Structure 1
Amino acid sequence: MIESVVVAGAGQTAAVAARTLRRRGFDGRITLVGAEHDAPYQRPPLSKEYLAGEQDRDELSLLTPDWCECNGVELRLGAAAAAIRPAERSLELADGTTVRGDAVLIATGGRPRRPPGLDGDRVRYLRTIADADRLRAELRPGARVVVVGAGFIGCEVASAAIDRGAHVTIVEQAGRPLGHVLGDPMGDVMAAMLRANGVDLRTGEKVERYAETASGAVLTTAGGTSLEADVVVVGAGMVPNVEPVTGAGIDTAGGIPVDAYCRTGVDGVYAAGDVARQWQPRLGRHVRAEHFDNANAQGMAAAKNILGLNTPHTAPPWFWSDQFGHGVQHAGHADGTDRLVVRGRVEDFDFIAFYLSGDVLRAAFAIDRGGDLAIARQLIACDAALASDVLRDEDADLTDLFDALS
């Protein structure tokens, strides 16, 4: 019988897991262990509304200390998880103390990837609220901002910086933004949107040297281009915080592998959120998703399965991004698809693109088509086979397509 749960991590996944445990009637001890000193807060706004100055700090809160006190959730903040001891069902903290739990959930998230040589007084990485506070103060009119990496974080930072009057250059090593996720055609659309909004986008460029002077920073690319900056923001991906499970008999290559129930394979030990690689039967491999919706869904599933409710998480991944006044969304996995069907006007950044494997819908990408994307997620989840001409037809209601399959 589970009488206590300890969670390594105090972010989105941990907060959702704690709320789910209480809502499902669990009255045992819950302990959340977090490396930061702040109570659990939302991270997506750090590169969106909060960074742009449109949201206050208190609006980011996930679990307030008052809520935790009223609901019997212990917050151990400023104490990173150092090691898990599966045999003892305990978590050893960096300060030398130990917390025991009948079940242990690893929700340690990740940290920014730091390319060699990109470090200095003018270099910023965005992961915590402290990072966002510092960067927000530097995004001012006329500031020269160079963003390294054209992933979603890099593009969102560029959007916030442009909105605040800064001059923005993005340096991306690949041939187009997000091509590895969206494919070349939609990657080109993202590039067009960035350039249309005033971003100086440099693709196929790798930063080779970085130096700082009294007046700013200078980045030199492999092609010999020199870029001057007042602030440099690096968005080069994330490294999962797997260190607590090292030596615990759990694979840690690229994240912690789990099944659909967020189980690690070690009895009583679960993993969820950015640190977890979940088995995807459609792809035949484990996949790690660094997105808010995934953190929510896996945190909820892990909590339910800790309680023995046998609830798999099988929904296709979904993420969204707000950039330059547009809502950008993606669902499913585009890997292995062989056709792309577009509904709407790509040139107006008002469309949805469907990724098909044969006639089966596997993924969708949309700009300012949130309603269509919501239906597409449901069609992806049921492996819907759909005709290209129907998907392309603006007069064909996607809801009717889903209803016909139900």
Structure 2
Amino acid sequence: MNPANAPLVIVGAGHAGGRAALTLRAEGYRGRLILIGDEVHPPYERPPLSKGLLQGTMELAGCSVCDSVQLAELDIEHLAGNPVKTLDPALHRLQLADGSWLQYARLLLATGGRARRLSSVPEHLPNVLYLRTHDEALALRASLQPNTRVVIIGGGFIGLEVAATARALGCSVTLLEAGPRLAGRVLPERLSDALLELHRRQGVDVRLNVAIETLLGATRAEAVQLVDGQLLPCDLIVVGIGMQPNTELASAAGLEVGQGIRVDAQLRTSAPDIYAAGDVCEFRLHPQGSFQRQETWRNAETQGRHAALNLLGGELPFEVIPGFWSDQFDWGLQTTGVIANTEPTVSRTVSEGGFLLFYLDAEQRLQGACGWGQGNSVAKDIKLCERLIANQIPLSADALADANVSLKQLLRN
């Protein structure tokens, strides 16, 4: 059943959902368009939450995809604080928290995720904080006062970026990572080592291979006790152990779900007229590749746009080279293509202690690259690597390793 004159509905008013709504209007769709979100805020981007917004140098307007005025001008109905509770694909309808039912012609699920909870950390303690939403960022910002003793649980990108911001604000920071290296799930060892060296140089007390025994304190967390008996007194605990994708709505409706909502090359789910995009979307980069999710700004931006085009009847396969970046103190990490936590094929030293790492396939074609350098110094090289990946031309490993051979020259060749 596809009701005549039913609206297009987007469930999830984050970055991907907001970008999809704006794209639908930009592409000429003039029908009824409904954007449903759990938060009261208009759609916003999440990377600034651990950087500018947490530092106090940016407010919500600075990271918004659009504001309430723009939504109204574009006649996009933003339903906030009335989330979807039930999805009925067979009848092309959904039920809101207030009990009302809403028909849809086509639907986009951009439900994102929530901060993953640590079962060993009690949630009722007021100085145990997470960072996933704007409001959580404001609560954390208010707590990051000079000389505050902060313990951060998790050595991934959220934990590391919060650590860098907290140190810049004058806090004493201890970072706990259960694994043998930082961001070890996604980065090669050399980059993990660079992150470790930088953070320790900036005064972050990084502890690797540690496990938490318990938290001490009845009404507030006063200390973290490790399994080895060490006691870490603290004023504030920040848990940054990843994201839990919001797949429950899709799963209950019978859609195919793995680590996210599974889609085909056009970002269609297993149910008719329902698409998925953003952090919750599990897709294949290549037809024969394995399913994956990408929790990046680029993925939310590009999939939001792409899903909108296919909601309008397009049959466009999603074929975007992935990439992400992370700012750490005055250094930057950028990647493009498919990288892994394995050893890269080739490395190249660049100026002022930076480096590039390259991943080649069996035919010597570039599949992925990552760079580490001061500020934004590796951005141009990573852009050139993206073009080399797109061209899929065989490359000389020796030339890639030689800093005197420009990547632009390899591209021209």
Identify the TM-score tier after normalising by the shorter chain: over 0.9
Aligned mate of 1:141, from 142, 146, 156:
146
Work out whether residues 212 and 226 of structure 2, in 8 Å CA contact, stay in contact via their aligned partners in 1: yes
Cα deviations across residues 219-239 of structure 1 (Å, max 9, x unaligned)?
A: 122222221111111110111
1:72 pairs with 71, 75, 84, which one? 75
Q: 1:403 to 1:263 in 2, by over 3 A?
A: farther
TM-superposed CA distance for 1:215, in Å, is 7.6
In structure 2, what is the equivalent of residue 366 of structure 1? 371
CA drift at 1:254: 1.2
Q: 1:28: how far off? A: 0.9
> Which deviates the most, 275-284 or 9-18?
275-284
Aligned counterparts of 1:210 and 1:283: Cα–Cα separation in 2: 46
Q: For 1:152 and 1:182, locate their aligned partners in 2 and report how far apart those are by CA, in whole Å.
A: 11
What's the offset of the Cα at 1:336?
8.8
Would the aligned equivalents of 1:182 and 1:365 in 2 still touch at CA under 8 Å?
no
Give the letter aligned to residue 389 of structure 1: D
Q: Provide the residue aligned with 1:376 in structure 2.
A: 385
Match runs of 1:243-258 below 5 Å: 243-258=248-263
Q: 1:84 is matched by which residue type in structure 2?
A: L
Deviation >6 Å, runs of 4+: none
Name the structure 2 match of 1:175.
Answer: 180
For structure 1, the residue ranges without an aligned partner over 5 or more in a row are: none
Taking the aligned partners of 1:349 and 1:2, their CA distance within structure 2 comes to 60
Q: CA deviation at 1:97?
A: 1.9
Distance 1:339 1:242 in 2: 34
Q: Secondary structure at the match of 2:146?
A: coil
For the residue of structure 2 that corresponds to 1:40, the secondary structure is coil
- Larger displacement relative to structure 2 (2-11 or 289-298): 2-11
Q: Is the 8 A contact 2:189 2:342 kept in 1?
A: no
Q: Which residue number in structure 1 is paired with residue 319 of structure 2?
A: 314
CA distance in structure 2 between the partners assigned to 1:131 and 1:249 by the alignment: 32
Q: Does 348-357 or 315-324 show the bigger shift? A: 348-357
Residue ranges of structure 2 left out of the alignment (5+ in a row): none
Residues 189/2 of structure 1: CA separation in 2 closer, same or farther (3 Å cut): farther
Q: Does 1:201 align with 2:240?
A: no
Distance 1:282-1:390 versus aligned 2 partners, 3 A rule: farther
Report if aligned partners of 2:126, 2:220 keep a CA contact under 8 Å in 1. no
Mapping of 1:108-119 within 5 angstroms?
Answer: 108-119=111-122
Q: Offset at 1:2?
A: 7.7
Task: State the shift of 1:69 in Å.
Answer: 1.3
> Residue 307 of structure 2 aligns with which residue?
302
Q: Percent identity?
A: 37
1:291 matches 2:293: no
Structure-2 residue corresponding to 1:23? 26
1:237 maps to 242
Give the Cα separation in 2 of the matches to 1:145 and 1:28: 50
Distance 1:223 1:384, change over 3 A: farther
Measured in 1, the distance between the counterparts of 2:318 and 2:216 equals 46
2:412 corresponds to: 403
Alpha-carbon distance between aligned partners in 1 of 2:5 and 2:282, rounded to the nearest angstrom: 25
Aligned 1:27-106 pairs, distance under 5 A: 27-106=30-109
Q: TM-score, normalised by structure 1?
A: 0.94
- Aligned partner (choices 123, 129, 140) of residue 128 of structure 2: 123
Over residues 11-63 of structure 1, what are the superposed CA-to-partner deviations in whole Å (9 max), with x where a residue is unaligned?
Answer: 10011101111111111111010011112122110001110111123212222
- Partners of 2:266 and 2:315 within 8 A in 1: yes
Other structure's SS at 1:254 match: coil
1:294-347 deviation line (CA, Å, top 9, x unaligned): 00111111000111222222122111111101121122222496643222259x
RMSD: 1.9
* Stretch deviating more after TM superposition (268-277 or 367-376): 367-376
Q: CA deviation at 1:118?
A: 1.1
Equivalenced residues, count: 403
Distance, in Å, in 1 between the alignment partners of 2:216 and 2:315 is 54
Shift of 1:184: 2.0
CA contact (8 A) 1:375 1:398 kept: yes
Task: Supply the distance in 2 between the matched residues of 1:328 and 1:108 (Cα, whole angstroms).
Answer: 27
Change (3 A) 1:260 1:103: same
Contact 2:221 2:237 survives alignment (8 Å): no
Partner residue, 2:358: 354
What's the secondary structure of 2:55's corresponding residue? Answer: coil
For 2:275, the equivalent position in structure 1 comes to 270
User: What secondary structure is seen at the aligned counterpart in 2 of 1:51?
Assistant: helix
